[in-house]
Structure 1
Amino acid sequence: MTDQPVFETILYEKDATDKFATITLNRPEKLNAMNKTAIREIDAAVALAVADPDVNALVITGAGRAFSAGYDLQGADYDVDIEDWHADMGENTQALLNIWKAPIPVIASINGYALAGALELMMACDLAIAADTAKFGEPEVRHNSGPPSLFMPWLLATRDVRWLMYTGDTVDAQEALAMRLVNKVVPAAELKDATEKLARKLARMPVPAIKYAKASINNQQIAAGLMTSMDYNVQAIAALHVSRRGREWMANLGRMTLKEYLEVRDAPFKGLD
């Protein structure tokens, strides 16, 4: 194979003994918040794994104390029109769909916070194992935004989807397990071993079997309307961002520090969470 590309925001490592690779989001000082570089590098690393005959399974995790806090809210220009939002969210959604449709099983290993866009990243994966200290949520509704993709209704009961997407509440690992947002919860100290054990099991499966099983499961969701749902969501959230209130919230990002922004966002909900 050709030389592996050099990444700035992620690590990509192949296991020394089994046919699986690990993508680690590697911006721990920012709780692995995903900027455009990170999104594109995750997408490139997924393509690298898919193209490698020596990779039969893939793990996605985060460095430090978070899986990821979601999309990086700092440093971008939010004074844009709806076509720009369509392009931006369309690119993000396509990167997530590339994980969802990868012909190898993808495991999310959730070592801490998985919020907003990172929750979407986790839900794009086939399976999820969480540390008992992990936290999950879609807090972006509180600043007049929404998820770039819409995997949640395809995974959870509608009551749970509405709770998470209406309230912006953060739930713990056991609540996430009860909702079937994750497959398994383990003590934080055991997460790496539990994830690698599952990755080794999947890597040793007969190669065509999971590929065709995944294709059949995905086809069921496509037939039920998943792609139409994704397209509608991009249109809806882009329109939300350019609404009057949406523009006000986006303008706040340009004139506040992130700490100030989150304090203003969450202030109305103190004592209610």
Structure 2
Amino acid sequence: MSIEQPADQPPLLRSAEGGVVTLRMNRPSQFNALSEALLGALQAEIDALARDPGVRCVVLQSEGRAFCAGHDLREMRSQPELDYYRELFRKCGNVMQGLQALPVPVIAKVHGIATAAGCQLVASCDLAVAADTARFAVSGINVGLFCATPAVALSRNVSAKRAFEMLMTARFIDAAQAADWGLINDAVPEAELDARVRGLVDEIVAKSPTAVRYGKRMFYKQRQMALADAYDYAGDVMARNMMEADACEGIDAFLQKRPARWRS
């Protein structure tokens, strides 16, 4: 039986420093299961981050022993109505799409388990680094519920056959497999997880904020296009990017062999 979240404990914690926003899922006793309250808090933060020009990077992590165990099954079973489930999965899908739609990179910092919608969260982030002890699964089929919405994100990260195997067998894969299959970028010893994510953040923050925002938007949009359309779109994006002050400064700095001073 799960332990209820204390009423005075918010389901999501936020901290910010130097343009880097860290969101920490805060339902440790429930393995950070995605309750309605947690989904709502994530959506509110995503909406706020999308409007904040000072944000440079977002890190998504969690409190307790697990990254995220998926949806809150006890909460789901308390309202056995089709319209309720449709709305719940719509809200969850909006959160996943919202992470990708943010104009800055989102990094999942993973420890423990990431299962079902928790694995979907990892797949929905732009980058993911995990402790080498982390494990991943889309295990809904074990309780008679195919992980349909996690399949959307999962199948856009790993190959079709790998995704289908995970979805049909519910087997866990370890962090090394997750890295090999493309679900995460890197698996590191748990003691090195903080430093590895910090290093990745520092690399991103050192780049032109303008170029990063152009780049993330372009990367996902072109993936939905035919090849010729993608090149047309990419050429227009590069031309517009060239008109920005940061591109002029960056190229001049390179030619003059000095550090760039980003203006944006």
TM bracket (short chain):
0.7 to 0.9
- List gaps (5 residues or longer) in structure 2: 1-7, 227-264
SS at match of 1:75: helix
Distance 2:222 2:205 in 1: 24
Please state if 1:156 is matched with 2:158.
Answer: yes
**Structure 1 runs of 4+ off > 6 angstroms?**
none
Alignment-mate amino acid for residue 206 of structure 1: S
Alignment-mate amino acid for residue 27 of structure 2: R
Quick one: higher RCO (CA 8 Å, sep 6+), 1 or 2?
A: 1
Identical amino acids, percent of aligned pairs: 26
How far did residue 7 of structure 1 move? 7.5
| Aligned position for 1:30 | 30
How far did residue 30 of structure 1 move? 1.4
SS at match of 2:34: coil
| 35-44 vs 195-204, which moves further | 195-204
- After superposition, where does 1:53-132 map in structure 2 within 5 Å? 53-76=53-76, 77-81=78-82, 83-132=83-132
Q: Deviations over 1:48-94 (max 9, x none)?
A: 2232232110000111211111111113334212x333222111101
| 145-154 vs 163-172, which moves further | 145-154
| Aligned position for 1:176 | 178
Q: Deviations over 1:152-201 (max 9, x none)?
A: 11111111111111101111101111111110111001111211221122
Please state if 1:139 is matched with 2:128.
Answer: no
Distance 1:37 1:24 in 2: 14
Contact 2:36 2:88 in 1 (8 A): no
Distance 1:54 1:211 in 2: 12
Q: Deviations over 1:207-266 (max 9, x none)?
A: 121212111221133337xxxxxxxxxxxxxxxxxxxxxxxxxxxxxxxxxxxxxxxxxx
- RMSD of Structure 2 on Structure 1 (CA): 1.7
Alignment-mate amino acid for residue 67 of structure 1: F
- List gaps (5 residues or longer) in structure 1: 1-5, 225-273
Alignment-mate amino acid for residue 192 of structure 2: E
| Aligned position for 1:44 | 44
SS at match of 2:24: strand
Please state if 1:8 is matched with 2:10.
Answer: yes
Contact 1:55 1:203 in 2 (8 A): no
Alignment-mate amino acid for residue 137 of structure 1: A
Distance 2:140 2:97 in 1: 21
Distance 1:105 1:41 in 2: 19
Distance 1:223 1:173 in 2: 31
| Aligned position for 1:229 | none
Across the two proteins, how many residue pairs are aligned to each other?
Answer: 216
- Answer with 1 or 2: which has the greater Rg: 2
Distance 1:161 1:55 in 2: 33
Distance 1:75 1:90 in 2: 16
